[in-house]
């Protein structure tokens, strides 16, 4: 039975700054994702705070929001069979040091905060996050 899902992916400022967006997009396409929607934007800090609200009690929240709003990002809706978990696998672990070989974070991540990509962690959050960037 097919289980086509959508998930939200973000190419974070550290990767956009290094012009890695086309390379990262080509990885998703090669892995069978359809890039259904895409936009390059720079968030205001207050938007980053809304996006990462689930982390508001974490010690890294302030820096995380500062960072996500520090430069342009590319937000994308990715579609594929089991898109949420598939994307998480291709991204790799949060800390690039712990990410598996071949994952995006292993290849391009600089550090736990500058880890090049975001991906929704559940179908429910994917819906919320897609709506956050692509309301219309
Ligand atoms: N993060 C951080 N320090 C930490 C944990 C997380 O700077 O100790 C940042 C990191 O950029 C991560 C984001 O906060 O991608 C969201 O954290 P989460 O645990 O949701 O990781 P993810 O789902 O991105 O793998
Ligand atoms: Mg997360």
What does the domain layout of the chain look like in residue ranges? 4-42+73-133
Percentage of residues of the chain with pLDDT beyond 90:
97
Q: Which residues of 65-80 are buried (b: 16+ CB within 10 A; e: fewer)?
A: bebbbbeebbbbbbbb
d(CA 31, CA 27): 6
Place 105 in a pLDDT band, splitting at 50, 70 and 90.
very high
* Residue having the nearest C-alpha atom to atom 21 of ligand 1: 94
Residue 26, pLDDT score: 98
Ligand whose nearest atom lies closest to the CA of 94: 1
The fold of the 4-42+73-133 domain, in CATH, is Alpha-Beta Plaits (3.30.70)
Rounded mean pLDDT of 1-23? Answer: 97
Residues, CB within 5 angstroms of ligand 2 (ion): 121
Q: Which residues of the chain form beta strands (DSSP E)? A: 4-11, 34-41, 73-81, 117-119
Q: Is the pLDDT at 107 greater than 80, yes or no?
A: yes
Q: Is the pLDDT at 1 greater than 80, yes or no?
A: no
Q: CB under 6 Å to ligand 1: residues?
A: 55, 60, 64, 94, 112-113, 115, 118, 121
Place 84 in a pLDDT band, splitting at 50, 70 and 90.
very high
What is the pTM assigned to this prediction? 0.97
**Mean confidence (pLDDT) of the chain:** 97
């Amino acid at each position: 039975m097919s289980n086509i899902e959508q998930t939200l992916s973000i190419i974070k400022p550290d990767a956009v700054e290094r012009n890695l967006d086309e390379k990262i997009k080509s990885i998703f396409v090669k892995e069978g994702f359809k890039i259904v929607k895409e936009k390059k934007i720079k968030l205001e800090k207050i938007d980053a705070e809304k996006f990462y609200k689930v982390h508001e009690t974490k010690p890294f929240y302030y820096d995380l929001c500062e960072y996500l709003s520090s430069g342009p990002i590319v937000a994308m809706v990715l579609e594929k069979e089991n898109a949420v978990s598939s994307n998480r696998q291709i991204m790799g672990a949060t800390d690039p040091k712990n990410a598996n070989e071949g994952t995006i974070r292993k290849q391009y991540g600089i550090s736990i905060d500058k880890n090049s990509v975001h991906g929704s962690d559940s179908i429910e959050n994917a819906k919320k996050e897609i709506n956050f960037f692509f309301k219309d």
